[in-house]
């Protein structure tokens, strides 16, 4: 079946504008993660969704960042009033079960490269 | 807190050379350990994993052994190929959170 897909693949925006990034996880995967990958940095955890539980938002860097997951499937990451430091690759991953199963593998999408001018 | 530390890159090797990328971790409890690989222009994909001490993960000629006594999970390959050029990420799962290393870029030259 299809893997994790993300859109758009590239997004260039002006400082102060809002952007929406979309993630389509693998069908049937209950867990969904968003990460940010900056140049020379590792993956920075942003937010985690598992089933119908309240999301873990502990990684969101500011209140300009928010995410939702509709119907337990597609997720949208929204960044309001973008800043230049938001420029990065935003990665989405999904897994069949939740992260409480430590052996659970994450499947990653190709990412969205965001450039804020 | 829990964390992963991996060898800084970039690493450049000639084809058929031996590869070791060091990874050490700090964790309470009994984490699972992973190596993910990111080929140019692609997303991360799982390379191998180990879920308990002394387990050895292996795939595509790569190996890594979960060493509890040294809190390490070093990635090794005996003979690298040009197609192994990628960024390699060590990762740790505690059952509560995932932690990724900063990535090590590997370039293999013919």
Q: Do the Cβ atoms of B76 and B20 come closer than 8 Å?
A: yes
Instruction: Find tokens 């990111």 and name the residue.
Output: B38
Chain B residue with the nearest C-alpha to that of A48: B97
pLDDT per residue rounded down to tens, chain A (117 residues)? 589 999 999 999 999 999 999 999 999 898 999 999 987 677 899 999 998 888 999 999 999 999 999 887 999 999 999 999 999 999 999 998 777 777 788 999 999 999 999
Give A 90-109 residues with CB within 8 A of chain B.
Answer: 91, 93, 99-109
Chain B contact for A64 (CB, 8 A cutoff): no
State whether A42 and B101 contact (CB < 8 Å): yes
Most A CBs within 10 A among B48, B73, B98, hence the mutation to make, goes to B98
Per-residue tens of pLDDT for chain B, all 110 residues: 888 999 888 999 999 999 999 999 999 888 999 999 999 888 899 999 999 999 999 999 999 999 999 999 999 999 999 999 999 999 999 877 888 999 999 999 99
A103:B32 CB<8 A: yes
Question: Nearest Cβ partner of A103 from B41, B51, B97?
Answer: B51
Chain A residues within an 8 Å CB radius of B41: 110
Which residue of A6, A36, A43 is the best one to mutate when testing the B interface, meaning the one whose CB has the most B CBs within 10 A? A43
For B38-107, give the DSSP string. Answer: E-TTS-EEEEEEE-STT-EEEETTEEEE-BTTTTB--EEESS--GGG-EEEEEEEE-SS-EEE---EEEE
Residue A15 Cα, gap to closest chain B Cα (Å): 26
If you ran DSSP here, which 8-state letter would residue A84 be given?
A: G
Per residue in B69-93, pLDDT tens?
Answer: 999 999 999 999 999 999 999 999 9
Encode pLDDT of A7-17 as tens digits: 999 999 999 99
């Amino acid at each position: 079946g299809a893997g994790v897909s993300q859109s758009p693949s590239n997004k260039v925006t002006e400082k102060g504008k809002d952007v929406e990034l979309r993630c389509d996880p693998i069908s049937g995967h209950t867990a969904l993660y968003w990460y940010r990958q900056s140049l020379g940095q590792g993956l920075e955890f942003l937010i985690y969704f598992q089933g119908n539980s309240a999301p873990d938002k502990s990684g969101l860097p500011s209140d300009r960042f928010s995410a939702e997951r509709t119907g337990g499937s597609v997720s949208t990451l929204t960044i309001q009033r973008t800043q230049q430091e938001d420029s990065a690759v935003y990665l989405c991953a999904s897994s069949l079960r939740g992260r409480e199963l430590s052996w659970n593998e994450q499947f990653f999408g190709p990412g969205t490269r965001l450039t804020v001018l | 807190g829990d964390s992963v530390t991996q060898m800084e890159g970039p690493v450049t090797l000639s084809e058929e050379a031996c590869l070791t990328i060091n990874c050490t971790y700090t964790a309470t409890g009994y984490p699972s350990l992973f190596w993910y690989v990111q080929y140019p222009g692609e997303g991360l994909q799982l390379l191998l994993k180990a879920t308990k001490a002394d387990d050895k993960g292996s795939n595509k000629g790569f190996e890594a052994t979960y060493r509890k006594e040294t809190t390490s999970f070093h990635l090794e390959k005996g003979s690298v190929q040009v197609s192994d050029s990628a960024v390699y990420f060590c990762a740790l799962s505690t059952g509560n959170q995932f932690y990724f290393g900063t990535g090590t870029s590997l370039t293999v030259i013919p």
